[in-house]
């Protein structure tokens, strides 16, 4: 079975540009999570969805960040405009309802110059 | 607030045991988890423990939970070079699937 698929794996962009990160969760999973990983702050939960509905977006850093889940098989995370401090690895993870085994994608490494 | 703390580094010799420690804050967590992250990859669930248990053993892995002190540990017996990775503990918040991860402990295994 395919795992969580993220794209792009690497993105290098200039400050001020719009960035879109994409995620395809595992089929049948009800929950989708976006995390950000940096050396300084570790792994931070940005937002999560249940059945395509955003449940908690309290971790989204600011209005420049937005995430949508238009259907059960796709989510995107947008940053507009991007800033150098947004440079990080962004992970998408999905899970079935239950004790919380998250299945992570391989991450999207974002570098904002 | 929600805070899960771990030491940052651990270095052990191959064949020795490794013990990775974690303290958490949410006493209502039903489950506590250990995840492993290998270089360039996402996290993978290693094991989890139900909050009414003190210990769980799974092959080379032993998880100990001290609820009174909110302390969780992961022991890896007979540590191998393939165990070199970053290990994260995590707690579920408000009994949901919202997981808060610790800072991660980088385990280095040398021959």
Sign of CA dihedral B56, B107, B1, B42: negative
* Higher local confidence (pLDDT), B45 or B1: B45
pLDDT tens, B55-93? 999 999 999 999 999 999 999 999 999 999 999 999 887
pLDDT range class, residue B19, cuts 50, 70, 90: very high
Q: Chain A partners of B44 at a C-beta cutoff of 8 Å?
A: 104
* B27 has pLDDT over 80: no
Nearest chain B residue to A56 by CA distance is B98
What the block records as the tokens of B77 is 């017996």
pLDDT range class, residue A99, cuts 50, 70, 90: low
pLDDT range class, residue B2, cuts 50, 70, 90: low
Contact B33 A95 (CB under 8 A): no
CB atoms within 10 A of CB A82: 23
* Higher local confidence (pLDDT), B53 or B2: B53
* pLDDT in the model for residue B1: 47
* A67 has pLDDT over 90: yes
List b or e across A32-44, with b for residues whose CB sees 16 or more CB atoms inside 10 angstroms.
Answer: bbbbbbeeeebbb
* pLDDT in the model for residue A101: 85
For residue B35, give the H/E element and its range.
strand B31-37
Q: Which of B96, B85, B1 is nearest to B44 (CA)?
A: B85
Write down the number of H helices and E strands in chain B.
0, 11
* pLDDT in the model for residue B37: 95
- Rounded to 5 degrees, φ, ψ at B29 are -60, 130
* pLDDT in the model for residue A62: 86
Of B30, B41, B45, the CB nearest to A102: B45
* A12 has pLDDT over 90: yes
Report chain A's mean pLDDT, rounded to a whole number.
Answer: 93
pLDDT tens, A31-63? 999 999 998 888 999 999 999 999 999 999 889
Which of B98, B102, B103, B104 to mutate to probe the A interface, most A CBs <10 Å? Answer: B98
Triad A59, B22, A60: Cα angle to 5°: 5
């Amino acid at each position: 079975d395919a795992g969580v698929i993220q794209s792009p794996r690497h993105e290098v962009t200039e400050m001020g540009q719009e960035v879109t990160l994409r995620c395809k969760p595992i089929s049948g999973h009800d929950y989708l999570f976006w995390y950000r990983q940096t050396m300084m702050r570790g792994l931070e939960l940005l937002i999560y969805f249940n059945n395509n509905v955003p449940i908690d977006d309290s971790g989204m850093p600011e209005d420049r960040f937005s995430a949508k889940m238009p259907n059960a098989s796709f989510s995107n995370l947008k940053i507009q405009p991007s800033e150098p401090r947004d440079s990080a690895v962004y992970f998408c993870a999905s899970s079935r309802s239950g004790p919380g085994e998250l299945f992570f994608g391989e991450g999207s490494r974002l570098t904002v110059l | 607030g929600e805070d899960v703390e771990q030491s940052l580094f651990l270095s052990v010799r191959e064949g020795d045991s490794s013990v990775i420690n974690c303290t958490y804050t949410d006493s209502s967590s039903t489950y506590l988890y250990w995840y492993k992250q290998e270089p360039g990859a996402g996290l993978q669930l290693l094991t989890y423990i139900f909050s009414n248990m003190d210990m769980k053993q799974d092959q080379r892995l032993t998880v100990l939970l001290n609820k009174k002190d909110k302390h969780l540990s992961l022991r890896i017996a007979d540590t191998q070079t393939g165990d070199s990775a970053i290990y994260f503990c995590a707690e579920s918040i408000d009994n949901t699937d919202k997981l808060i991860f610790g800072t991660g402990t980088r385990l280095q295994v040398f021959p």
